[in-house]
Amino acid sequence: MQRRSFLAATAGALVAPRLASAANAQITVLANEPIAAINPLVHGHFVEHLGGVVYDGIWVGENSKIANIGGLRKSLVDALKKIQAPVFRWPGGCFADSYQWKDGIGPRAQRPKRTNFWEGSSLLRKLEDSPARYDPNTFGTNEFMRFCRETGGKPYFAVNVRSSTPKEFYEWVEYCNAPSGRTTWSNMRGEAPYNVEFWGIGNESWGCGGNYTPEEYSVEYRKFTAWAPGYGVPLKYLPSGPNGGDLNWTRGFFEAMLRKDRNSINNVWGWALHYYCGTTGKSAVDYTDAEFYDLLARAQVMEDLINRHWTIMGQYDREHRIKFAIDEWGTWHREGTQVGPDHLFGQQATMRDALVAGLTLDIFHRHADKVSMGCIAQLINCLQSLFLAHEDQFVLTANYHVFDLYRAHQNGTAVRAVFGAPLVEKAPRLAGSASVKDKVLTLTGVNTHLTEPLAAAIEVAGAAVKSARLEVLSSPDSHHHNTFAQPNRLVPRPAQATASGSSIKAELPPISVWKITADLA
């Protein structure tokens, strides 16, 4: 009988079936082989007017009994400050290409109520009324900017291309960035200029953003961006990138742009690739061992996508000035575990999701020379969320703790690291990333095995290690997740690591996301 089937067969009889003996793993960190600085924006977030993300999630209202900062859920703001959330993409998603930004400004009581893009979903159709179905526009540009200011994240706006015009876009830039007291729009803002830099031109323009061909979209992109006034702010544009492995979209867009004018890609800051690894199994919390590994294998595909699109981008942008902004990524499970009645796409986050988060962020760090921004989808009450909230209840998910563990990488220099461990099913057994900042090495990674720990021998080539600390987010059962009733089931805990010479030894538990922090001499 194989070890895994033995464990499955005896699972009822044993409590937390852990194996004492650990397989050996060798990790070599090449501290003198830098890849590039890790842009903090790769730890970014996505906020769409979808289900319970904005209303119930972020916005509770100024008159709410729930602790709030000018209507923003205080517990959320505090938690985001702690992890140094770097950027928020807003207001969509598919919603963005039907959003009229002017509906969301001026006195709140006078703002129009509009049908939300997601109104037709079966979950929302069960409800007569809901802000997720009919958007009251209470949360608009000023409220979003306050959210950014309070949390410390940068704003990244997604512009409506499908059902709006370049003129409307220019006016939005004017509203946000024109000097106070100079134009009607800047007066209406009523605050100091927001100086918004990041502007995504449409969303998924190959699909809900207009069903364009890449050639057609390149025309729209130029119309929107070529002559837009910036008010002294260097505007950073992000064209709508491909759906996963659609290489034709990347090739088609860049080719069409260069055919028109070889300087036309000069204003592209980031190429907005979207990739959801999706789901396996019956639901977010109900899947088999094989389905567990299968999902992790799908998450790992991100690395391949980056490499394949990057090769094509290099044919048009030989210096590789343009990097990726992977502004939607994550798991997407079947409906049924949402915590509020209108939380469309709301899902629980188990240790399986935490492993996907760890795997993905480590890929971004290993490709720090290629990836400049990443936004997990979505912040709260939605797909792979860091938070779940309903009315006065609020909980940090396992995904949050991964972002918390990994934030030490922000602004570090990613260095090469080699991870060697036995294989497990189709998924990587051990994967991770390393960075150095101010003589501190941050090494993060995952042990995806369902039952076996790894005895890791870590060799830091090119530096002596003075001390090392290990923190681990793990659980004996990958299905475990935090709930309102049990909010601290999954939290990172300190564990043993020893340093000597240029080596570190640490035991990495099964089903774990871990971080080693080492002081280098």
The nearest distance, CB 158 to ligand AHR, in angstroms, is 9
* Catalytic choice (48, 174, 197, 204): 204
471 in active site: no
Ramachandran category for residue 121: left, alpha or beta (phi over 0 → left; psi -120 to 50 → alpha):
beta
Q: Where does this chain bind ligand AHR (CB under 6 A)?
A: 48, 92-94, 203-204, 328, 377-378, 383
291 in active site: no
| Among the listed residues 307, 359, 352, the one whose alpha carbon sits nearest the alpha carbon of residue 329 | 359
Q: Virtual CA dihedral for 116, 176, 201, 266, nearest 10 degrees?
A: -170
The nearest distance, CB 344 to ligand AHR, in angstroms, is 9
| Minimum CB distance to ligand AHR smaller for 208 or for 408 | 208
Q: What is the DSSP letter of 412?
A: P
Residue found by looking up tokens 């049990």 in the block: 486
Give the Cα separation of 249 and 206 in Å (integer): 8
| Minimum CB distance to ligand AHR smaller for 262 or for 334 | 334
Q: Find the largest Cα–Cα distance for the chain.
A: 77
The nearest distance, CB 93 to ligand AHR, in angstroms, is 3
* Catalytic choice (174, 197, 328, 452): 328
| Minimum CB distance to ligand AHR smaller for 99 or for 172 | 99
The nearest distance, CB 190 to ligand AHR, in angstroms, is 30
3-state secondary structure of 426: coil
The nearest distance, CB 433 to ligand AHR, in angstroms, is 25
Give the Cα separation of 489 and 181 in Å (integer): 52
Residues shown for the chain = 521
| Minimum CB distance to ligand AHR smaller for 141 or for 203 | 203
| Minimum CB distance to ligand AHR smaller for 53 or for 256 | 53
CB 418 within 8 A of CB 427: no
The nearest distance, CB 209 to ligand AHR, in angstroms, is 8
Strand partners, 183: none
Give the Cα separation of 426 and 178 in Å (integer): 53
Give the Cα separation of 517 and 470 in Å (integer): 7
Q: Which residue is nearest to ligand AHR (CB)?
A: 93
Residue found by looking up tokens 């916005």 in the block: 59
| Minimum CB distance to ligand AHR smaller for 93 or for 412 | 93
CB 436 within 8 A of CB 520: yes
Active site members: 204, 328
